[in-house]
């Protein structure tokens, strides 16, 4: 428990989980802001311009935290995972560098333009700027996910004389079949986060009886986007992401379900606690034969169990993986009826009076964050004990000369700093929300443009 490897893993987990709280909101909002700005530009609807303006403030706040917590991610590849970087730099260097050159430059530069160019540029340039922000943030997601997809499902590489891997086809790397469903699933989840937050702020304003006009715009946009995205999250993107796990990473798939023994007509586990001594599930609640049906469209199909594989190839945190998978799926499944109900109420013209629904929408805002975090833990814990699936073990990847004491030093530093950052973000988020969307004529225009 006190080896450098353990702290290296813990530090990467802590920093990447904390980091990803911010990009999921910015990527989701980038799409919604672009939609609002387009609508304002083509229909000359000032309400949407004002809404886009307000959400750009939240976007900028989240972006600032995302950038400062993102730089440690790239650095840690070299700092804590030197042997992995030496091994895989010839492949992942391509996608990580492309992220910098094609995406990060784009979003950082145009965010500056959007924040400081309100008076300088006309509506067209402002609209185009939101397009660039959308492109930049989604391309950023694409290249980072291409890197992760390669670690989940390595393609387009050859091993050289030193034992390191080198890319053999950049096109193959970027069209990794794994990437298709991983990218669509992750981006849909980002839209879920963005739209849930947008709808929640709308619901908060409406319940409080303030900023009524803007609240309705936020709710309409947020609820419709959330309903569509929640549905797409489960099908087809989530379904196919799971199918490719069961096809290419059967151990991970079996661990998802707590499926210890190979059997035909496998049950879908709804609830229960994995027991690692007896290799069974305590207090099981199952849907009979549904796992076989979902994966193979056939109730009697065989699903491989964990005991068919050597224990050293099992994910080393199997129970945690089982729980994160179930939290992700459980929450994702709850989002759909919630948001479909909201859309039906909206369509019938009753959403804005349905206070119970507004309360539900407001209180659900944190849950996409939990679901997304659980989803990433599912993907990454399930990849263990491999750093590159089937090719390179995590235990071989950390820096040989960075001792456990030094990693603990930096881990404690990150923990302290990130606790402060988290509090700051929440404080400023609520401050911005309570200041409200009305820019002109507000009683309190308490912030001046600077930096």
120 binds other proteins per the rule CB under 8 A: yes
- Site residues for other proteins, window 245-264 (CB under 8 A)? none
Three-state SS across 229-298?
A: HHHHHHHHHHHHHHHHHHHHCHHHHHHHHCCCCCEECCCEEEEEEEECCCCEEEEEEEECCHHHHHHHCC
**x-or-dash string of contact with other proteins, 21-50, rule CB under 8 A:** ------------------------------
Is 286 buried (19+), middle (13-18) or exposed (0-12) by CB count in 10 A?
Answer: middle
The 10 Å CB-count burial string (b at 16+, else e) for 268-277 is: bbeebebeee
406 binds other proteins per the rule CB under 8 A: yes
- Site residues for other proteins, window 327-346 (CB under 8 A)? none
CB nearer to other proteins: pick between 110 and 181:
110
- The residue within the footprint of other proteins, chosen from 43, 44, 97, 308 (CB under 8 A), is 97
428 binds other proteins per the rule CB under 8 A: yes
CB nearer to other proteins: pick between 69 and 182:
69
DSSP H/E element including 303: strand 302-303
Q: Report CA-CA distances (Å) from 41 to 46, 47, 66, 106, 126.
A: 9, 11, 28, 22, 9
424 binds other proteins per the rule CB under 8 A: yes
438 binds other proteins per the rule CB under 8 A: no
CB nearer to other proteins: pick between 94 and 130:
94
Separation of alpha carbons 366 and 382, rounded Å:
24
In the complex, the smallest distance separating the C-beta of residue 186 from other proteins, rounded to whole angstroms, is 20
- The residue within the footprint of other proteins, chosen from 163, 349, 443, 449 (CB under 8 A), is 449
List Cβ<8 Å contacts ≥24 apart for 40-47: 41/123, 41/124, 41/127, 47/213, 47/214, 47/217
126 binds other proteins per the rule CB under 8 A: no
In the complex, the smallest distance separating the C-beta of residue 46 from other proteins, rounded to whole angstroms, is 14
**x-or-dash string of contact with other proteins, 376-405, rule CB under 8 A:** -----------------------xxxxx--
Q: Which stretch binds other proteins (CB under 8 A): 108-116, 178-186, 245-253, 294-302?
A: 108-116
Separation of alpha carbons 242 and 250, rounded Å:
10
CB nearer to other proteins: pick between 61 and 219:
61
Could you report how far apart the first and last alpha carbons of the chain are, in Å?
A: 44
- Site residues for other proteins, window 140-169 (CB under 8 A)? 158, 160, 164, 166-168
Residue 134, Cβ neighbours under 10 Å: how many? 23
Q: Which stretch binds other proteins (CB under 8 A): 23-31, 69-77, 181-189, 366-374?
A: 69-77
437 binds other proteins per the rule CB under 8 A: no
In the complex, the smallest distance separating the C-beta of residue 60 from other proteins, rounded to whole angstroms, is 6
Task: Number of residues interacting with other proteins: please give it, by CB under 8 A.
Answer: 84
135 binds other proteins per the rule CB under 8 A: no
CB nearer to other proteins: pick between 72 and 368:
72
CB nearer to other proteins: pick between 103 and 331:
103
CB nearer to other proteins: pick between 283 and 446:
446
Nearest to 151 by CA among 438, 449, 393, 331: 393
Q: Which stretch binds other proteins (CB under 8 A): 113-121, 221-229, 237-245, 321-329?
A: 113-121
Say whether 388 sits in a helix, a strand or coil: strand
Is-contact 386 394, C-beta < 8 A?
yes
CB nearer to other proteins: pick between 78 and 177:
78
Query: At 55, phi and psi to the nearest 5?
Result: -70, -25
Please name the residue that has the structure tokens 């333009």.
113
**x-or-dash string of contact with other proteins, 77-96, rule CB under 8 A:** xxxx-xx-xx-xxxxxxx-x
């Amino acid at each position: 428990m006190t080896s450098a490897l353990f702290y290296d893993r813990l530090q990467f987990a802590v920093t990447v989980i904390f980091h990803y709280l911010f990009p999921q909101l910015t990527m989701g909002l980038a799409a919604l802001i672009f939609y609002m700005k387009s609508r304002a530009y083509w229909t000359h609807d000032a309400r949407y311009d004002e809404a886009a303006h307000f959400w750009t403030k939240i976007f900028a706040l989240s972006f600032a935290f995302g950038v400062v917590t993102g730089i440690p991610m790239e650095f840690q590849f070299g700092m804590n995972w030197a042997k992995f970087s030496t091994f895989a730099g010839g492949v992942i260097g391509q996608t990580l560098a492309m992220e910098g050159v094609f995406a990060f430059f784009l979003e950082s530069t145009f965010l500056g333009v959007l924040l400081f160019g309100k008076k300088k540029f006309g509506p067209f340039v402002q609209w185009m700027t939101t397009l660039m922000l959308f492109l930049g943030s989604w391309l950023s997601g694409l290249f980072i996910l291409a890197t992760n997809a390669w670690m989940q499902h390595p393609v387009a590489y050859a091993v050289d004389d030193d034992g390191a891997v080198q890319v053999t086809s950049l096109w193959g790397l970027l069209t990794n079949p794994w990437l298709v469903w991983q990218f669509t699933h992750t981006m849909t989840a980002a839209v879920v986060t963005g739209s849930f937050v947008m709808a929640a702020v709308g619901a908060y304003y409406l319940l409080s009886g303030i900023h009524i006009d803007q609240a309705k715009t936020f709710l309409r946009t947020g609820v419709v986007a959330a309903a569509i995205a929640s549905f797409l999250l489960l099908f087809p993107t989530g379904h196919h992401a799971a199918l490719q796990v069961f096809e290419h990473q059967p151990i991970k798939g079996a661990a998802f379900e707590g499926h210890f023994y190979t059997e035909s007509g496998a049950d879908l586990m709804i609830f229960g606690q994995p027991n690692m001594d007896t290799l069974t599930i305590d207090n099981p609640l199952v849907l009979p034969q549904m796992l076989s049906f979902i994966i193979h469209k056939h109730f009697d199909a065989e699903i491989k169990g964990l005991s068919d594989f050597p224990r050293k190839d099992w994910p080393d945190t199997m129970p945690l993986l089982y729980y994160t998978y179930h939290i992700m799926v459980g929450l994702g499944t709850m989002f759909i009826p919630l948001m479909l109900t909201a859309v039906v109420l909206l369509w019938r013209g009753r959403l804005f009076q349905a206070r119970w629904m507004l309360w539900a929408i407001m209180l659900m805002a944190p849950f996409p964050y939990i679901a997304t975090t659980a989803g990433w833990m599912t993907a990454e814990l399930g990849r263990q004990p491999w750093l590159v699936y089937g090719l390179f073990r995590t235990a071989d990847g950390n820096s040989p000369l960075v001792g456990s004491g030094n990693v603990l030093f930096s881990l404690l530093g990150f923990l302290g700093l990130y606790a402060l950052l988290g509090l700051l973000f929440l404080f400023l988020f609520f401050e911005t929300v309570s200041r409200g969307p009305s820019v002109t004529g507000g009683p309190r225009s308490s912030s001046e443009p600077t930096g």
